Structure 1
Amino acid sequence: MRETLALLKPGGIYAVDDMLPQEDWPTDHYPLAAGMVDGLVSLDGVLSVGLTWSSGLALFTVAP
Structure 2
Amino acid sequence: MRLLRPGALYVGDDLNPQPTWPDDHQDRVDRFVRELPRHTKMRWTLMDWASGLAVAARLGDPPHLA
Number of residue-to-residue matches in the alignment: 60
Q: State the TM-score, normalized to the length of structure 1.
A: 0.78
The sequence identity of aligned pairs, in percent, is 33
Secondary structure of the 1:6 match is coil
Runs of 5+ unmatched residues, structure 1: none
Q: Which has the higher helix share?
A: 1
Match for residue 7 of structure 1 among 3, 6, 9: 3
Q: CA RMSD in A?
A: 1.3
Q: Which structure 2 residue ranges, 5 or more long, are not aligned?
A: 61-66
Runs of 4+ deviating beyond 4 Å: none
Name 1:25's counterpart in structure 2. Answer: 21
TM-score under structure 2 length normalisation: 0.76
Q: Partner residue of 1:41? A: 37
Kindly name which structure, 1 or 2, has the bigger radius of gyration based on alpha carbons.
Answer: 2
